[in-house]
Structures are given as structure tokens and as C-alpha cells.
Chain A
């Protein structure tokens, strides 16, 4: 019953869908498929049955490199405490038009 052709031993692909022109691709889910062509085809069948997309990407799951969730603090905290990166930090210009 279980052969090497079993769908579960096929590589895992992550599916990304662009819902309309001008937007970025967003992760929709994943699926197993023997190669990229079939992964695209299956992604179309599985994730875009109701006009969800205008474009589909599939990426081999193992090709995705991710940041370590445990080092979230150290990794992203440098963005904190830098309020001067935001426009709202600058208050002197309030009330001045087109600024």
C-alpha cells in the first residue's frame, strides 16, 4: 500500500497567492507534489477555486530559510526605541500644510 509514489513522500511546497494585480503574494498554505509544475497545478486546484488569485507561487518548503523564533527579541528589537523613524515623531510641523 505504501510505495515511494505515495503522495506523502513527495516534497512539501509552500503556496503563495497574489489576490489581485498590484498586491504582494501572501502565503496561502502548503501541499505535496512531485515537481514544481504539478505543485503549481495542484495549488491552482486547491487554493484558487473561487477567484482568490491572479498569480501563484510555489516554493519548496525546504528552500525557505526562517529566522529563529526563540531569538525574536534580539533579532527585531533594534527597531524599537527608534521613534524618529516614524513621521509622527516630528511635531513641530503640525498645522503646516503639505508637510
Chain B
């Protein structure tokens, strides 16, 4: 044995012992994790969790946060043009809520070890995904109604089961979000109701908005179950509780009586009650379009990102001012303490 080997042998053994210990630890962690999931309890930030669970959650939660942040744009656009002071106030409150939802979710993702700045940068660089629905323009005031009723409506159907997600901070953020979300849906429905019962042109404007947002809103639940590769795993981990298609069906069943109450129709000739299933049947959606939008080729994909970048760049001075102010406050306090001494 060469002296070199002599030196290496004990080191090598130590490595092996470490590796064995790490393996045993991971195994114990996995067992505990499986137990917690099986008993429908919650995983908390400092618990051991499989790397794939952590990664999957970071992806889902940060995408969700990005969607809320980008989702402020179609509506933010209409604040100055909302038809009355009341509608402006309501819309501002809604946009503020969405900023808040984004922040709750970024906080939840941070507890998984993903730095906030990294998430912002991913959105900034266009690497991160967000819900495809926000790449459609809000052309008329009625679109703000359709976004509230259909887009926030779909979000609620999706989000209510997420309140029971197996990851504690995510579930808790969702509880807070769901509490705020139902106001969004109702205000949208009311906008459409007012328009639908207004002049003929207003009625048509409401119908037109519903026609354009219905399909994309149904696509918010994601691709059909057969084409949704992550669903199975997310269900097993109890992050998701229902499949995309189950949630989509629930949403359609919910919409039909609501659209009737509005005095409008849904743009689907195949939509009809199925006595046997106890659900509404509905037609196929344009999935080619969906995947094109996801890939960044939506009508406003580029503009939404550019606007986000502009807002972040131009808002930098506010963050700098906040730091300067905080520094000055603490200096003044130090000085006061000195004088006091």
C-alpha cells in the first residue's frame, strides 16, 4: 500500500459513513413524510420533504404568484376608464387584492427555500410561466366584468380545494386568498348584469365579452387529464385534490344557472344537460391555441412582460427611497440616543 493510499483510506471510510448516515436520515424522513401525507396532515417548512415535492411546489406556488402579479395588468388598465367613481374604487381594491395575493404566495414559496429575488428575476427574464388567461386583452369595460365573473370564478373553483393542500404555508395562503376572491367574482357578475340589462349595445358588449373569455377561462384548469403529466403526482402528494377535468366540469355546472340569471348565453352549441351524468356536457376547447399561448405566443404575452419589466425598473426609486428613509430614521434615533446619554 502506498503512503498515498494510507492517507486516503480513512477519509474514504468517513465519506462512506456520512453517506450511509445521510441515506438513513433520508429514509426516516421519507417515512415520516409519507405518514403525514397519509394521515392528511400538513407538511411544514422545516419538515423533511422529498426534493421532487419541494421542486414541484416551488414551481406551482411561484407560477401562481406570477399569475396574480401579471393579472393586475388587464384590470389596472381600466381603472382610469371605469364608468363611475364607485367602479373605480372597486377596481382599485380588486387590483390591490391581486398584488396582495401575489405577495402571500411569494412568501409561501420562500418558505421552501426559493429566494424572492430569484422568483422576481425569473418573471422578469420571461423564464417563469404564469396563467395563460392574462395574455388576452381587456378590450371593453364588459371584459372587466367577464374577467371577474369567469376568470376569478375559475380561480375560486381551482383555489378552494388548494386550501387543503398538504403544504401548510400554501394552504394557509390560499385560505386568505379565497376569502378575498369571492368579492372579485361578484363584482364582475354585477358589471355584466348592469350591462346586460342596459341598452341593446351594452347587452351586446356583455355578450361579446362572455363569448371571448368563456373558452380561455375553461382552459385555466389546465390541459385535459390525459395530457396533464404532473397531475397524478400532485394528487398523490395531496397538493391537488381534484383533476383538471373534474374542476372544469364543476365550473361549467356552476356557470349555467349564473349565465341564465345574467340574461346572457355561453358560446357553446354543444352545451346541454346530461340527465344520466347529472352534469352539463360541453364542447371541446381549442387546445392548440392554449399551448400556443402557454409558449408565449398569446395576443399580449410580450406586452405583459414588458410592462412588468417597466414597472419594476421604474419603481426602483420607491424601493431605494424606502431604504434611505429607514436609514435616516435609524440614524436619527442613534443621535437622539447619544444626546439622551
What's the Cα separation between A31 and B172 when bound, in Å? 15
Is B103 positioned at the interface, with any CB of A under 8 Å from its CB? yes
What's the Cα separation between A3 and B100 when bound, in Å? 23
Of all A-B residue pairs in the complex, the 10 with the closest CB atoms, nearest first, are A8-B117, A8-B116, A35-B326, A34-B326, A5-B320, A5-B319, A69-B46, A30-B107, A5-B323, A34-B323
Using known A-B contacts A3-B320, A5-B323, A34-B326, determine if residue A29 contacts B124 with beta carbons closer than 8 Å: no
Residues of B within 8 A of A8 (CB): 115-117, 120
What's the Cα separation between A49 and B116 when bound, in Å? 23
Cβ of A5 and Cβ of B316 under 8 Å apart? yes
Using known A-B contacts A3-B320, A5-B316, A29-B176, determine if residue A38 contacts B326 with beta carbons closer than 8 Å: yes
A-B interface pairs (CB < 8 A), number: 70
What's the Cα separation between A31 and B316 when bound, in Å? 18
Please give the number of chain A residues whose Cβ is less than 8 angstroms from any Cβ of chain B in the complex: 29
Is A74 positioned at the interface, with any CB of B under 8 Å from its CB? no
What's the Cα separation between A32 and B313 when bound, in Å? 18
Cβ of B46 and Cβ of A1 under 8 Å apart? no
Cβ of B117 and Cβ of A1 under 8 Å apart? no
Cβ of B110 and Cβ of A12 under 8 Å apart? yes
**A-B contact list, 18 entries, CB within 8 Å:** A1-B313, A2-B117, A3-B316, A3-B319, A5-B316, A6-B117, A10-B323, A29-B176, A30-B110, A32-B116, A33-B322, A34-B322, A34-B323, A35-B330, A49-B96, A49-B97, A49-B180, A50-B180
A59 to chain B, nearest CB (A): 14
Cβ of B103 and Cβ of A46 under 8 Å apart? yes
Cβ of B117 and Cβ of A69 under 8 Å apart? no
Cβ of A69 and Cβ of B47 under 8 Å apart? yes
Name B's A-contacting residues (CB within 8 A).
Answer: 44, 46-48, 93, 96-97, 100, 103-104, 107, 110, 115-117, 120-121, 124, 172-173, 176, 179-180, 312-313, 316, 319-320, 322-323, 325-327, 329-330
What's the Cα separation between A10 and B100 when bound, in Å? 18
What's the Cα separation between A46 and B103 when bound, in Å? 8
Residues of A within 8 A of B322 (CB): 5, 33-34, 38
What's the Cα separation between A49 and B120 when bound, in Å? 24
Closest residue of A by beta carbon distance from B107: A30
Residues of A within 8 A of B176 (CB): 28-29, 47
Residues of B within 8 A of A55 (CB): none
Is A9 positioned at the interface, with any CB of B under 8 Å from its CB? yes
Residues of B within 8 A of A80 (CB): none
What's the Cα separation between A6 and B116 when bound, in Å? 10
What's the Cα separation between A84 and B298 when bound, in Å? 66
Residues of B within 8 A of A66 (CB): 46
Closest residue of B by beta carbon distance from A30: B107
Closest residue of A by beta carbon distance from B330: A35
What's the Cα separation between A3 and B312 when bound, in Å? 12
Residues of A within 8 A of B48 (CB): 70
